[in-house]
């Protein structure tokens, strides 16, 4: 059985990196990810394989998987008439994994937007203090999409500070919603169901994780606390997200000087930070995503007048949609429009189109997923040079893992979705202000620790 999302339109993209970044995509969206890091070269690009499928096969496939799709995805349907699909790897199972070894783990994270907008273009000051994700949580709970708010804050994950990142991932695990999933051997073992009253079974997750971390710090007994397993698991994820994908491994300065590095709704206590952060490594997966997100320099409020300018131009000159690449193709010419956008508005339709395209690419990066595949490294594997194409996360605690990281869900956001995005933004801000941004006063109480007891069979 496979997920419907593996059959995607030809504009989808993903990239994978091991010792060096290897991008697999059409250039438009991931090209922006690529260009945001000067340490990369064009030689790292490779094109995905587009395959033809019999129309009857696609029709039968659509029918077969429809009942397995979550309700919130059923308003979108598979294109059963194009006869084309992208051939994508199964990212939950690394290509170098040996089937006879311990099943690999794969973690899917939707990091969301990692910065606050500039006050220059927003009408509500709250948007410069509280991130979109944290405000959106109030709106989703108020509308019944989720029963409980998540205390995850993207600005903590994108901070580059290990304490804040650990804190962010911990809250993703506690309330994953559709932003965090864990796979073992290709099967999903941990996720949330939309609208469910039940919390995901973390004890079950920890039972699955325990064998991978049993020998950390020379733990050779059967008494391993849940907290220890969880902490080791999170540390491995943080290491993978901060690890370089090649290049010079430089770091970018923390955004605190810009006043955009902390969200006032985050429950992370700034006073807990023991060591300052130099920021994200410039060749890390999070840095590339963040830099692409920051192509949105105007916020939806500042962008919308330019969208209206383009829309009115197209009403008078409908054939211009092709020249301006409103529906693509997302190729090198599209990427060039993003790069050559003037710094100041010169009133031209070309400027407006370029800013709209930048916003669409940024929105794609704000909604993408990271897939981190982890394969435990035995002592024999660590000495095997044949596995050098997968980076090794070696530390005394937690144990060593080989890993690969990928980015999915890079379908460019449609041009015509911008008015809907503006309406949603207004609803989210209004709801947050109406509810007073009610957040817990004081620090959130840590869950009591427990011990996993395993007896030999």
Per-residue pLDDT, 259: 52
- CA distance between the termini of the chain: 31
d(CA 269, CA 260): 16
CA distances from 101 to 113, 207, 212, 377 (A): 37, 18, 12, 10
Q: pTM of this prediction?
A: 0.81
Per-residue pLDDT, 128: 95
Residue 271 burial (10 A CB sphere; 0-12, 13-18, 19+)? exposed
Phi then psi dihedrals of residue 182, to 5 deg: -125, 135
Q: Decide: helix, strand or coil at residue 436.
A: coil
Q: What angle do CA 333, 335, 341 make, to 5 degrees?
A: 100
Per-residue pLDDT, 200: 87
Per-residue pLDDT, 275: 62
Nearest to 294 by CA among 144, 104, 118, 98: 118
Mean pLDDT by 10 residues, the chain (457 residues): 34 29 40 44 47 91 84 77 83 65 90 95 95 96 90 96 95 95 94 78 92 66 75 94 64 51 88 69 90 95 98 97 92 87 92 96 94 76 45 55 84 92 97 76 46 43
Helices (H) and strands (E) in the chain, counts: 14, 13
Tokens representing 293? 């997100």
Per-residue pLDDT, 335: 87
Cβ neighbour number for residue 65 with a 10 Å cutoff: 15
Per-residue pLDDT, 343: 85
CA distances from 149 to 110, 250, 291, 355, 435 (A): 16, 36, 27, 33, 13
Per-residue pLDDT, 330: 86
Nearest to 112 by CA among 76, 158, 150, 146: 158
């Amino acid at each position: 059985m496979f997920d419907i999302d593996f059959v995607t339109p030809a504009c989808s993209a993903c990239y994978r990196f091991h010792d060096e970044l290897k991008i697999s995509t059409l250039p438009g969206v991931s090209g922006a990810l690529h260009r945001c890091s000067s340490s990369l070269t064009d030689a790292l690009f490779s094109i995905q394989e587009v395959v033809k499928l019999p129309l009857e096969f696609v029709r039968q496939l659509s029918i077969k998987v429809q009942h397995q799709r979550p309700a919130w995805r059923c308003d979108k349907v598979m294109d059963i008439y194009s006869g084309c699909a992208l051939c994508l790897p199964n990212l939950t199972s690394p290509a170098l994994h040996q089937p006879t070894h311990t099943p690999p783990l794969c973690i899917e994270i939707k990091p969301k937007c990692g910065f606050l907008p500039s006050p220059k273009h927003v009408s509500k000051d709250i948007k410069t203090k509280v991130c979109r994700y944290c405000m959106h949580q109030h709106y989703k709970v108020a509308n019944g999409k989720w029963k409980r708010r998540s205390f995850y804050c993207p600005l903590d994950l994108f901070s580059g500070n290990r304490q804040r990142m650990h804190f962010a991932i911990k809250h993703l695990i506690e309330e994953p919603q559709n932003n965090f999933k864990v796979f073992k051997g290709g099967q999903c073992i941990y996720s949330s169901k939309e609208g469910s009253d039940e919390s995901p079974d973390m004890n079950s997750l920890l039972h699955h994780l325990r064998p991978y971390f049993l020998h950390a710090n020379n733990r050779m007994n059967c008494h391993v606390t849940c907290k220890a397993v969880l902490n080791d698991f999170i540390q491995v994820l943080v290491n993978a997200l901060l690890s370089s994908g090649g290049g010079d491994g430089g770091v970018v300065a923390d955004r605190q000087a810009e006043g955009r590095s902390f969200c006032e709704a985050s429950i992370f206590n700034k006073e807990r930070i023991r060591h300052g952060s130099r920021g994200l490594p410039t060749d890390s997966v999070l840095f590339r995503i963040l830099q692409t997100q920051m192509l949105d320099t105007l916020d939806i409020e500042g962008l919308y007048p330019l969208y209206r300018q383009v829309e009115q131009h197209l009403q008078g000159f409908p054939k211009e949609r092709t020249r301006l690449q409103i529906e693509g193709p997302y190729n090198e010419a599209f990427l060039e429009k993003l790069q050559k956008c003037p710094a100041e508005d010169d009133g031209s339709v070309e400027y407006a189109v370029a800013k709209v395209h930048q916003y669409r690419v940024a929105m794609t990066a704000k909604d993408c997923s990271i897939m981190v595949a982890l394969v435990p490294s035995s002592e024999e594997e660590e000495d095997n040079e044949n596995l050098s194409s997968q980076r090794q996360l070696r530390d005394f605690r937690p144990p060593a893992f080989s890993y690969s990281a990928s980015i999915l869900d890079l379908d460019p956001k449609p041009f015509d979705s911008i008015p809907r995005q503006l309406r949603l933004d207004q609803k989210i801000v209004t709801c947050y202000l109406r509810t007073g941004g009610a957040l817990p006063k004081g620090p959130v109480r840590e869950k009591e620790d427990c011990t996993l007891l395993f007896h030999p069979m």
